[in-house]
Amino acid sequence: MLLLLPGPVQTRPETRAAMGVDIGPWDDEFRAVVAALRERLRVLAGGREGEHVALPLQGSGHFVVEAALRSFVPPGGKVLVPVNGTYGRRIERLGREAGRAVVTLPCPDTAPVPPEAVAAALAADPAIGHVAVVQSETGSGVVNDVAAIGAVARGAGRRMILDSVSAFGALPFDIGAHPECDALVFTSGKCLEGMPGLACAVARIDRLGEPGQAGSWCLDLADVYRYALAAGWGRFRFTPPAQVVSALSVAVDLHEAEGGSAVRLARYANNARIFHAGVRELGLTPYLPAEQQGPVIVNVRAPDDPAWDLQRFATLLKTRGVMICNFYTTETPGFRVGCIGAVAEEAMRYALAAMRSVLDEMGLRRREAA
């Protein structure tokens, strides 16, 4: 099966093979793998030794987004969340349910968040201490200019938390060059092309206070840090998904062997370009114009035809060996196709051919020429 999802992604056989063993997580060999992986993840984020640390956390992306909000925005603190899609809205909810005061900056989901709008929102409310923003908005496929938004936060004397979950390992952001950034967060199962199950923050040491502020022991990044200082860099507080950690270590080797994030970004951008152009040739309309299309996920508008049925489309694609999501996250109906993972342009062309055949089988002939 060819997985064309924006996470979990298609992985390489070497990565999957690392899962096939039993592991004692407190064993010395495994602890050495964890300690080395943490250093490599810090370096990949541009984190500086002695200034930043990689703090792994069991769970999916939401867990570490919430952990970062709880650990860096103090109770009673106010956070500005620019929302130009589903994942921005999820930060809003995670912050509210954690009891932080959340101010949203609603923006259309078809364009990046304008940094000037962030500047205006910060100027209007001096009580806002943090901006929490998504780098690659997986909801629509738009990429936000988080370097510019970070510069705005810095200029206004505020802090930033970056949801880099669908970006890290491909899109650039150098935390070492962004002292306003308390933490950037990501997971094992997206652009790093590992298996799902491990989340991670790369965070500023000087912003990690005493454990307890998070109001959740499980999601307290300050406690993750204190524990590592006391017990060693190879230790987790609670049982880790050890096989996922091992697989991520192999996936990071493969990331390096491929040439790093810039080479990976070029492969994904090429995938997205081919797919975006290809769906237009099928008579379908991409959700975003080519100028706004990011490299991670291409959303396509549902054909304006009563014969359209997303579940049926996804099921029929599966019979042709292609797996896409059976839900959409744009403001209007459509389908979403991930361009990340261990896939290159042949996979995108294969998926386009499969889609042509499924659209024909579904009798979707009244497709507007885009």
Ligand X SMILES: *Cc1c(COP(=O)(O)O)cnc(C)c1O
- 336 among annotated binding-site residues: yes
Judged by CB under 6 A, does residue 61 bind ligand X?
A: yes
Specify which residues 142 forms β-bridges with: 137
Binding ligand X by CB under 6 A: which of 81, 132, 133, 134?
134
8 A C-beta contact, residue 345 and residue 270? yes
Dihedral angle sign, alpha carbons of residues 20, 26, 29, 34: positive
Per-residue tokens: 254: 């493969």
| Closest distance to ligand X from the beta carbon of 88 (Å) | 8
Distances in whole angstroms, Cα of residue 314 to Cα of each of 308, 310, 328: 11, 6, 12
User: Count of CB atoms within 10 A of residue 103's CB?
Assistant: 18
Binding ligand X by CB under 6 A: which of 166, 188, 246, 249?
166
| Closest distance to ligand X from the beta carbon of 188 (Å) | 9
Site for ligand X in 6-25 (CB under 6 A): 6-7
Binding ligand X by CB under 6 A: which of 71, 138, 249, 330?
138
Buried b (16+ CB within 10 A) or exposed e, 257-275: eeeebeebbebbbebbbbb
Judged by CB under 6 A, does residue 187 bind ligand X?
A: yes
Total residues at the site for ligand X (CB under 6 A)? Answer: 13
Contact range with ligand X by CB under 6 A, out of 159-167, 233-241, 251-259, 353-361: 159-167
> Which C-beta is closer to ligand X: that of 134 or that of 342?
134
Judged by CB under 6 A, does residue 42 bind ligand X?
A: no
Amino acid at 16: R
Contact range with ligand X by CB under 6 A, out of 12-20, 160-168, 304-312, 342-350: 160-168
CB-neighbour burial class of residue 306 (10 A; exposed 0-12, middle 13-18, buried 19+): exposed
For the annotated binding site for substrate, the residues are 336
Interface ranges with ligand X (CB under 6 A): 6-7, 60-62, 65, 87, 134, 138, 163, 165-166, 187
